[in-house]
Amino acid sequence: MDALLSTFFSVFLAEMGDRTQILAAVLALRYRRNGAIIGGLACATLLNCIFSALGGSVIDQWISETPLKLFAGLAYIFAGIGMLMWRRTVDPLATWKTPAFLTAFLGLFILEFGDKSQFIIAAQSARTPIWGMAMAGGFVGIMAATIPAILLRARLAQVVPLKPIRWISGALLLGWGLILATQAFGLA
């Protein structure tokens, strides 16, 4: 249960104000088909979370606890730094002539692939014997952070103060990563 909750909260924080939210909101605004966008998001997210969690479970078999703690610390540190840094603009996929579900699925899958949330899910999965809990926590975290963006669309930036949320989330992730990294080196 620890892996489920910690992954959920970590990934939820990492996705706040992230490009996944922005692209999902743009696609919802373009297509006006919330169900198709949410379905595409769910399929893309599930696939990415499965890859991440399976990758983490393989890593768990190769290395001992101390390097795993360092891996987790680095995943959180880089996620925190990514939240605090300047963001690239999101390609709205305006030239894609595919239906709403397919555009959402492919666009969000590509955008999420190799994202900070995947590393958090992999790190959490590597630290637990039940990798499915980390996968489920990551999936629910991404969905919980992104579905409101789909429903709010253009009002997202007006209703949710994205910049302060990104800074607070980034600081929390960075702090947690530093704690894990210092523990891995036996400094804390």
State the 10-residue block means of pLDDT for the chain, 188 residues long. 91 92 93 96 98 91 85 94 83 92 97 93 92 96 96 78 88 95 87
- In the prediction, which pLDDT does 187 show? 83
- In the prediction, which pLDDT does 64 show? 82
From residue 52, alpha-carbon distances to 89, 128, 152 in Å are: 25, 13, 28
Residues 44/109, Cβ–Cβ less than 8 Å: yes
Q: Which of 58, 79, 36, 12 is nearest to 4 (CA)?
A: 12
Q: Which of 75, 59, 61, 73 is nearest to 138 (CA)?
A: 75
Q: Which two tokens stand for residue 5?
A: 């909750």
Largest CA distance in the chain: 54
State CA 74 to chain mean position distance. 15
The pTM of this model reads: 0.92
Sign of CA dihedral 78, 82, 85, 88: positive
- In the prediction, which pLDDT does 157 show? 67
